[in-house]
Amino acid sequence: MADISKCPPLTRSSVQAAHNLIRSNIHLTPVLTCQTLTDIASTPQSPEALKGTEYEGKEPARPKINLFFKCENLQKIGAFKARGAFHALARLTDEDLERGVVTHSSGNHAQALALAARTRGVKAHIVMPTISTPSKIAGTKSYGADVIFSGSTSTEREAVVADVIARTGAILVPPYDHPDIILGQGTMALELETQVEDLIAKNPELGARQRVVNGAKERNGDVRHKQALHAVIAPCGGGGMLSGIATALEGTGITVFGAEPEFEGADDAVRGLVAGKRVESVKTLTIADGLRTPVGEIPWTIISDKKKVRGVYSVSEEQIKAAMKLVMERMKVFVEPSAVVGLAVVLYDEGFRRLVEEESGEEGWNIGVIFSGGNTTLEAIAKLFEASEEKKERAEGVRGRDGERVAENVAG
């Protein structure tokens, strides 16, 4: 990678510069709304859903939430990772590129780097865990990359990467732990901010009342602008995307949150924030396979700063599946499990929902939810939900504002 000491600072202006650099290589992914999911998010959870939690027997939260979905599942290679990969290669010299590039990834960064390398005419070596989703392996190979398999932990992956570098001299392009990756991923937040402003300007009924905040300093002096987004929530694995979003939105008044799966210790950011130190190793088989890695050192410096990331929340496997089911059935949008972890927090984490209720007041919050990717298969989805059939009766209907059955509220 480019020498970290020579990288641009992790600032909003650097994200804007990164966006200008990669704009021609990425899609401007759409921002969608869904009244049904907005209604569900604004509906109190059922008593059954709160059983076994610290909120059992208490009045459920009644937040007012308007949802705006940034569809990075429609990005090139089917995930946000294309942003960081293209930016990382754009920052390398021609001499560096002649050596080829190498990385380790469970799938989305693998495909992203393979595509970026092919676009630039560069050889790519991709180390992938043997348990990676078959469609992601096939996608990576389809871009002409040399795929080498490894164990599932970050330590095992990195050992194979070291062998590749020793053998080929390739330049490492890490999946998340580098400023160039972070800045590239943060570009989605710039788009989301503007897209939501435009949507609400055209259709005011889509969002809560806009509030006026201090704007950036422009030629004619200090200005003030209407802030459409109140918060953004994004999945957190290695933390490149979450830290990039926080960097892009710093100083805007928009609050940033992270979301993780809790299965088998996948919630390393949550645990690290409680302990006051980064968790360095994670070994989990959560269904959110893109979030199986620990937060990187550089992303951690941002995620652990409460002025940049307000908090990180975790959800169960059943809650992730419930959110995924809603997105596919109600929005007709194809997503992978990792992509809906943020939505699962909004719908099912009572602590998050109470925070929104307390801080938003009568106006409510406009919340941007990142759909990080859509790289899965119908076969994988079928297996995922086959395993949940025996728990079907645990799901209870909750009623929307019109009294109709609108969703399934999952305990856990």
207 located within any domain: yes
4 located within any domain: no
pLDDT of residue 132: 85
Same-domain status, 163 and 238: no
Give the pLDDT mean for 331-347: 98
296 located within any domain: yes
DSSP state of 276: T
Rounded Cα distance, 57 and 46, in Å: 11
pLDDT of residue 44: 97
78 vs 126, 188, 193, CA distance in Å?
17, 14, 21
Burial class of residue 73, CB neighbours in 10 A (0-12, 13-18, 19+): buried
Rounded Cα distance, 346 and 357, in Å: 12
Same-domain status, 173 and 189: no
User: What percent of the chain has a predicted confidence (pLDDT) above 70?
Assistant: 89
Of 178, 208, 231, at which residue does a domain stop? 178
pLDDT of residue 2: 65
Phi, psi torsion values for 18, nearest 5 degrees: -65, -40
pLDDT of residue 399: 38
Same-domain status, 298 and 396: yes
| 406 band by pLDDT with thresholds 50, 70 and 90 | very low
Tens of pLDDT, residue by residue over 261-311, are: 999 999 999 999 999 999 999 989 999 998 998 999 999 999 999 999 999
Same-domain status, 86 and 196: no
276 vs 237, 300, 303, CA distance in Å?
18, 11, 12
Phi, psi torsion values for 17, nearest 5 degrees: -65, -40
171 located within any domain: yes
Rounded Cα distance, 243 and 186, in Å: 7
162 located within any domain: yes
Domain that holds residue 124: 80-178
Same-domain status, 57 and 90: no
7 located within any domain: no
pLDDT of residue 241: 98
Could you tell me if 259 and 313 are in contact, meaning their C-beta atoms sit under 8 angstroms apart? yes
Same-domain status, 130 and 72: no
User: Does residue 217 carry a pLDDT above 50?
Assistant: no
User: Does residue 186 carry a pLDDT above 80?
Assistant: yes
pLDDT of residue 363: 86
- Active site amino acids: 81, 106
Same-domain status, 338 and 323: yes
User: What percent of the chain has a predicted confidence (pLDDT) above 90?
Assistant: 79
239 located within any domain: yes
Same-domain status, 289 and 188: yes
How does 284-302 read in b/e, with b if 16+ C-beta sit within 10 Å?
bebbbbbbbbbbbebbbeb
Lowest-pLDDT choice from 1-15, 44-58, 319-333, 384-398: 384-398
3-state secondary structure 21-45: HHHHHCCCCCEECCHHHHHHHCCCC
pLDDT of residue 216: 43
pLDDT of residue 394: 52
Give the bridge partners for 124, in sequence order.
101
Number of domains present in the structure of the chain: 2
Same-domain status, 325 and 348: yes
User: Does residue 1 carry a pLDDT above 90?
Assistant: no
Give the CATH number for residue 112: 3.40.50.1100
Same-domain status, 157 and 280: no
Give the pLDDT mean for 219-242: 77
Give the pLDDT mean for 4-18: 95
pLDDT of residue 403: 39
User: Does residue 411 carry a pLDDT above 80?
Assistant: no
pLDDT of residue 214: 54
User: Does residue 398 carry a pLDDT above 60?
Assistant: no
Could you tell me if 15 and 248 are in contact, meaning their C-beta atoms sit under 8 angstroms apart? yes
pLDDT of residue 409: 35
Of 130, 158, 178, at which residue does a domain stop? 178
pLDDT of residue 221: 38
Same-domain status, 89 and 135: yes
196 located within any domain: yes
Tens of pLDDT, residue by residue over 116-175, are: 999 999 999 999 989 887 888 999 999 999 999 999 777 888 899 999 999 999 999 999
Same-domain status, 345 and 393: yes
Give the pLDDT mean for 187-207: 95
Helix (H) or strand (E) holding 398: strand 396-399
Helix (H) or strand (E) holding 68: strand 65-71
pLDDT of residue 107: 80
Of 160, 178, 196, at which residue does a domain stop? 178
359 vs 142, 186, 281, 326, CA distance in Å?
48, 25, 34, 27
Lowest-pLDDT choice from 93-102, 131-140, 221-230, 280-289: 221-230
